[in-house]
Structure 1
Amino acid sequence: MLQEPTTAASAGGTNAEALQQMSFGAMIQHFDALSWIVFITLVVMSAMSVYWMIFNAVKNMRMRSRSDRVMTTFWETTNAQDAIRYMEEQPASEPFSKIALDAALAASHHQRNEGSRLVESLNRSEFVDRALRQAVTRESGRLESGMTLLASVGATAPFVGLLGTVWGIYHALIRIGLSGDASMQAVAGPVGEALIMTAIGLFVAIPAVLAYNFFVRINRNTYNKFDTFAHDLHDFFATGSRVGDLSVKR
């Protein structure tokens, strides 16, 4: 009867030691080569996804703060040369000004080459339209920076973590087979490694998936703005006035 408290205390101490083996620090100490590869891969994936999250967030904030001002200034400037000069002053990362400049350059190039084979093969409207399509495609492609990586991290990080999970469970089974001991203290380390690897994989994947979906929605709205602005530019450089302005005059 007197030995029961001692036995209970001993069991409690054993369980406490087993739980300590499931900590992150203990897991690091027992990593083998494959475990280190999985862990470093997840850390690198997390770092790259965080970088592109911050990069795209800052880029979209800057673009949204400038885009409306750039388009409004372009249409409100009565002198075409002043409007083009304003577009040239915009940063290289500002897409709407680059689309407008490409349209202006195409219209000017077509006008300078009147009477040549260029004019015979493509009229002014077709030439400007081709330039605008290329500009919109180029600027749309720039919006996709880092999106492939975010999608890849979101899709593969859980499986990379799962590899670490399977490897940890494999170690636990090996330890049970060698020692014949299936107690908590015997398997706590490998099982802890497996659970932590799963958690890390999810921690890396979930923010990447959420960020990817968020930026896809923002980019979709930006694509629509590109198309609207490009159509207005085409009307302006092909006819000398926006469609809305023509309808008002009529």
Structure 2
Amino acid sequence: MVTDLTPFVALNDVLTRLVEGTREALRPDLMGVYLSGSFALGDADAGSDVDFLVVTRAFLTEPQQAAVQALQRTLYDEFAHWGKHLEGSYFPADLLRRPDPARTPIPYFNHGGRDLEFSDHDNTLVVRWVTREHGLALAGPPPRELIDPVDPNDLRAEVRTLLHRWGRALLGESEESSRGWAWTPDGLNNDWLQPLVVLLMTRMLQTLNTGQVHSKKAAVAWAERHAPEWAPLLGRAWAKHADQFTRYQRPADPNDLALTRDFIRFALGHPLAATAS
């Protein structure tokens, strides 16, 4: 049972139910259940979503899809906070083991969602790297046994592509839709997304520097050393993280919104973000 994996007793109860319910739903087809994201990287707080990854022997059958759908809805309805902040995928083992350039959609529950969908959201090198190197096993073998090493340069290439794609969309230079976020200049005027973009792009720059994925808190500390002129904006963004779930309906601070646009331009123009000629 999951009793003390996180510092949140209520979340440990949710994770215990997640593992028990997943075992019942998948039986011999279950290979492992892992925590990824912020809880794996070590900077999770009450404002973190709960990224999980279930490894299966094959793609879910329709009865299995119905079973995990019912489980997700039960957790969502019965657990007031953490049940509504689960986000995760059901990943066939053969597909997870190595990079999938096709980004095949897999069964996925979006953050705050109750309904199963098919998405490529977690079919990335970033998720593979975090889960392999830092994933917390709720059930099954260590994740290193299920995921091959991720080449640092391949990881950099993926992150560099996303940095330019999302950054240009937020500046109005292209159109992009991802994760249900409003990747538009107007969409950035949101007191949840604006600080999150600052943290996200800081993490991207650190990954381009190190070839590894780091926590939001570690990325802020890295940027304060390497780009101290942005330290105040980064500090305010990190300070808002713990209660980010209360900020969906608020407009961003006007000054920070303008600074964030400047920060996006800084990130896109950084030498680390330069694309190969």
TM-score norm. by structure 2 comes to 0.19
**Higher helix content, 1 or 2:** 1
**Higher strand content, 1 or 2:** 2
**Greater Rg over alpha carbons, structure:** 1
